[in-house]
Structure 1
């Protein structure tokens, strides 16, 4: 018989080893901007080595869109030391007139022509990465591709999975239990993950230039010289404005098991899209996209959470998952936190640990297509009008307002926090709940409400506030010394990245078209 919540808490309290040593990693994106708050037109600084092969500093869509990647850490303090050291190194080697944009939504961009695609060298894999970005630009435009976010990678310890079968009444053990358990976590995240933009969404306003003159049905209000906002929005980054691919709406990705997930992704990858076919693949001798499928590669599949496994050479994400199961999950619905220099705080990480552990511990029934659609509706409503008092969400056929769901979730997470703190001396999870709980009752304490107030209380312009914070944070990061790494270590990382890129380029034997043919032939072997 399935255990109720209290029985699960009681069971887990007898197994405190289940919560020792979570695996954590952070990926933070940020735009390089000039003194006037406009997008830098300079290429990726050579001081950071090769964006193709550097382990800590790379680029995302554009040359000006930096991405920082920490190693995996089991200590939150160590995780933030890594993140701080990367930031410190970057600002110490950043041109004096450039700054790191501290918000998710981009700065003023005159036109899409000002967004230079990320470059990764002359190797086939480097050219493929840039061609993929060319495809994204041609399919959706460049503006929404230069939105910044924070990705949080999380894994539960082996001891948790050793106890998972008994906790959930399942005969599965080992990697099978772990993969099934992570899929259960993902389903619960799809049900309740709206809480992340509610609490931490920080993009209720955008620069009008982001729309590039396009019409929108959203009822924007204006403030300052060029800022528009939705009064109750939490995260426009996560709305249709930020990333929309209507072609993906009927892909029917299934999260009920790893096998059904992989099968649905495989089908999605082979599905053609007529408007992409009309674009062509090669024009005037240049690639305009990798192929004319709905998804060029798996990375194009939009998701707020992903199942992950470290890939081997020449292995796709699905092939890694099929071969060795789920290793960790990646949370992709965090806005950059504009109230701190690193874009994320330890308190946010503590809440995420708590929430994700709860998602993995409580019952997680399979999702019908109808329930999956309802979850997507909840999320879409949350990001555009999440602080609206009348907003209701329907979960598992129960409808409540956000405050009602928040009260219920607060009770569940508070009990889980006490459990996780049982073997700790710092009460970090209960402290996190103590600080975050009031936001469920008072939306004005959420990040989106606070940043909107800051914008209105200053000049009324999103960009002016962001540039002021960018300059402040640059000074703070310059003054914050290294904690773990050093300039010598980063110099070695730079040199190693250049040598690796050169080795990859030297090892190429195929033409680029033949390389792509080989890649996609291999990718179908799932």
Structure 2
């Protein structure tokens, strides 16, 4: 079936092809000149974190999240992200945007300020949700940063593809089915992204102060996973025991939303003991269930649908189907001023599109366990020379498996380049082949080598990279018109927040209960 799908796509012409739709959400900590997490509030000049479409915060008041609009090509996507970075850098004063995924110097949970979003009901809900994350998992895990890549295809493609497959369902149901087809293959292959793009093999000692771990000592202030690719995606990063009990099924939309719904509505004894409010009546979490909301579920990939005001993600998915997929396992690239570069984005497009065009059987429990095992092995030990993973049903050395997977992308890269009249996808593929043929070029290895060459630990090296990126961006400030546009967006977002805060028709408790109601 996989070959037949690729055969069907080979019948497409350049006139049938309308490219990809893509977006980025890039996180980064604000840090002080000494490399300590910023204790200052979100800069007012950046606008409202509640209502600004491009500049917000994730968990912490210090954890910026920069969001691009949906773009048609890589150049415009990176230009948008670059413009936002330049505007942000103009408002940071002597603070710096941290270049690494693993955080700067911390001083325990109290040093990580929870993001605030104002007094409106929607702003309070965001804040209370984050307080819930704090009491459930602690704040340290929430100080980690990454890049989320949003990928979709235009309806013109889906209509042509549905016709090619002779599928008679509604376009909405067809698209959802096909995005889950892609997601199943993503789960089979996501270990490759951790091998190629994992860039967090080291962390500051303050992150694991008092915590049991199996890392290796690099210097007085730095621990490393010598064979690791991404400590961010390992047991010290986005991981928690309550969610380990979940059995979220990625085979199709209904099973996915049903299993998520169950988690959101299943009480969890430890969270019930904490309570929604403390003894003084202050809200500590949105509810006491396994998940407060869908976004609490950590996964390497998510099916997504843009939500309307007051709408929950699961409601949007159920009513209007999958709109795009969100790749969530990408570390910041500390060698790139924007945290990600063009070649990586083009490779992701090729990788994800091939996930759609390849055979994709439903994943059973046994395969699910094998996939999880391979992923964890590469995260923790991806640079071990003797590491083997389960690939095509048998144990295979990881570099050999990676080489085989990259080989499968060649034909598709050639076809897409023929459509576009360039060599973008072949070049992106060749760059990753070069890395696999020369494992010292793996991003995680480059980080450790750079630290050793500089004689610096995680803090000093990452701070130096951060300052270099800041200097490069500030050397080319926004033109007057673009700067004015961003200033207007900031001012408009503040005005919108004030309008929301002026509405006192509903108490927060009424709003919370209405939001949680089905």
TM-score, with normalisation over the residues of structure 1?
Answer: 0.95
Aligned residue runs from structure 1 range 82-121, under 5 A: 82-95=80-93, 97-121=94-118
Q: Match for 2:362 among 359, 366, 391?
A: 366
User: Given that residues 391 and 401 in structure 2 are in contact (C-alpha distance below 8 angstroms), is that contact kept between their aligned partners in structure 1?
Assistant: no
- The alignment partner of 1:332 has SS state of strand
Aligned residues, how many?
A: 516
- The alignment partner of 1:288 has SS state of coil
Partner of 2:270: 275
User: Given that residues 81 and 483 in structure 1 are in contact (C-alpha distance below 8 angstroms), is that contact kept between their aligned partners in structure 2?
Assistant: no
Partner of 2:285: 289
User: Given that residues 31 and 65 in structure 1 are in contact (C-alpha distance below 8 angstroms), is that contact kept between their aligned partners in structure 2?
Assistant: yes
Aligned residue runs from structure 1 range 55-454, under 5 A: 55-95=53-93, 97-165=94-162, 170-172=167-169, 174-216=171-213, 218=214, 220-283=215-278, 284-395=280-391, 397-454=393-450
Q: 1:123 to 1:245 in 2, by over 3 A?
A: same
C-alpha displacement of 1:374: 1.6
Q: 1:75 to 1:482 in 2, by over 3 A?
A: farther
Q: 1:130 to 1:109 in 2, by over 3 A?
A: same
User: Given that residues 97 and 466 in structure 2 are in contact (C-alpha distance below 8 angstroms), is that contact kept between their aligned partners in structure 1?
Assistant: yes
Q: 1:302 to 1:426 in 2, by over 3 A?
A: same
Answering whether residue 470 of structure 2 is matched by residue 470 of structure 1, we say no
Give the whole-Å Cα distance in 2 for the aligned partners of 1:367 and 1:484: 53
Q: Match for 1:503 among 499, 502, 517?
A: 499
Gaps of 5+ in 1: none
Q: 1:418 to 1:173 in 2, by over 3 A?
A: farther
Q: Match for 1:29 among 27, 30, 41?
A: 27
Give the whole-Å Cα distance in 2 for the aligned partners of 1:272 and 1:393: 37
- The alignment partner of 2:210 has SS state of coil
Q: Match for 2:451 among 451, 455, 473?
A: 455
- The alignment partner of 2:485 has SS state of helix
Give the whole-Å Cα distance in 1 for the aligned partners of 2:157 and 2:490: 38
User: Given that residues 203 and 448 in structure 1 are in contact (C-alpha distance below 8 angstroms), is that contact kept between their aligned partners in structure 2?
Assistant: yes
Give the whole-Å Cα distance in 1 for the aligned partners of 2:438 and 2:402: 10
C-alpha displacement of 1:425: 2.6
Give the whole-Å Cα distance in 1 for the aligned partners of 2:480 and 2:26: 18
User: Given that residues 164 and 177 in structure 1 are in contact (C-alpha distance below 8 angstroms), is that contact kept between their aligned partners in structure 2?
Assistant: no
String of CA shifts for 1:100-130, please: whole Å, max 9, x gaps. Answer: 1000000011221111110100011111111
- The alignment partner of 1:67 has SS state of strand
Deviation larger for 331-340 or 275-284: 275-284
C-alpha displacement of 1:442: 3.0
User: Given that residues 225 and 460 in structure 1 are in contact (C-alpha distance below 8 angstroms), is that contact kept between their aligned partners in structure 2?
Assistant: no
C-alpha displacement of 1:398: 2.8
String of CA shifts for 1:306-351, please: whole Å, max 9, x gaps. Answer: 1111111211111111111111111101100000100000001000
Give the whole-Å Cα distance in 1 for the aligned partners of 2:226 and 2:508: 49
String of CA shifts for 1:143-172, please: whole Å, max 9, x gaps. Answer: 110100000111012233224346657554
String of CA shifts for 1:49-101, please: whole Å, max 9, x gaps. Answer: 11100111111111111000011110211111100000000111111x21010
User: Given that residues 271 and 293 in structure 1 are in contact (C-alpha distance below 8 angstroms), is that contact kept between their aligned partners in structure 2?
Assistant: yes
Give the whole-Å Cα distance in 1 for the aligned partners of 2:189 and 2:480: 36
Give the whole-Å Cα distance in 2 for the aligned partners of 1:363 and 1:279: 46
String of CA shifts for 1:132-151, please: whole Å, max 9, x gaps. Answer: 11111111111110100000
- The alignment partner of 1:282 has SS state of coil
User: Given that residues 229 and 380 in structure 2 are in contact (C-alpha distance below 8 angstroms), is that contact kept between their aligned partners in structure 1?
Assistant: yes
C-alpha displacement of 1:231: 1.0
String of CA shifts for 1:219-270, please: whole Å, max 9, x gaps. Answer: x111222111111100000011001121112321112211111111111111
Give the whole-Å Cα distance in 1 for the aligned partners of 2:392 and 2:269: 36
String of CA shifts for 1:481-515, please: whole Å, max 9, x gaps. Answer: 43796111011101110111111111232221121
User: Given that residues 257 and 318 in structure 2 are in contact (C-alpha distance below 8 angstroms), is that contact kept between their aligned partners in structure 1?
Assistant: yes
Gaps of 5+ in 2: none
Supply the RMSD in Å over aligned alpha carbons.
Answer: 1.6
C-alpha displacement of 1:292: 1.1
C-alpha displacement of 1:173: 5.1
Give the whole-Å Cα distance in 1 for the aligned partners of 2:333 and 2:75: 18
User: Given that residues 374 and 395 in structure 1 are in contact (C-alpha distance below 8 angstroms), is that contact kept between their aligned partners in structure 2?
Assistant: no
User: Given that residues 17 and 419 in structure 2 are in contact (C-alpha distance below 8 angstroms), is that contact kept between their aligned partners in structure 1?
Assistant: no
Give the whole-Å Cα distance in 2 for the aligned partners of 1:152 and 1:144: 21
